Amino acid sequence: MKRVITANTIKQAAAAGKKQLYAPLKETIITPEARTVASQLGVELLEFSLATPQGKPIDENLVRQVMEQVMKNLPPSKQNYQKIKSVVIEVLTAYLKKNS
């Protein structure tokens, strides 16, 4: 079942001090109002779809968990979502390739 991100979800995240919400494309539905409220409150919606170069899916929950841990341990000035996502996917892809 997909998770729905609503305007209320965004408001709660902002109230809790969150600046980003993970929203894997295959697992999440984001309402138009949520996008508007996110923009207004400065909450970035991190939408992504994951697959290896061979087209095999990578476990999105695993990638999200790794990314959350990495970002939690970096100072805000070093939190580059796209770069971190790229490195995490590269490492997981190499690992899966080596162990398949």
Same domain, 54 and 44: no
Is pTM, for the whole model, over 0.85?
no
Same domain, 58 and 41: no
Cα radius of gyration rounded to whole Å, the chain: 15
Same domain, 37 and 55: no
Q: Which of 15-19, 57-61, 64-68 has the lowest mean pLDDT?
A: 57-61
Q: pLDDT at position 51, please?
A: 60
Q: Is 52 exposed, middle or buried (0-12, 13-18, 19+ CB in 10 A)?
A: middle
Last residue of a domain, one of 12, 33, 48: 48
Helix (H) and strand (E) counts in the chain = 4, 4
Instruction: Please identify which residue in the block is written with the tokens 């994951």.
Output: 50
55 DSSP assignment: S
Element (H, E) at 47: strand 44-48
Whether residue 14 has pLDDT greater than 90: yes
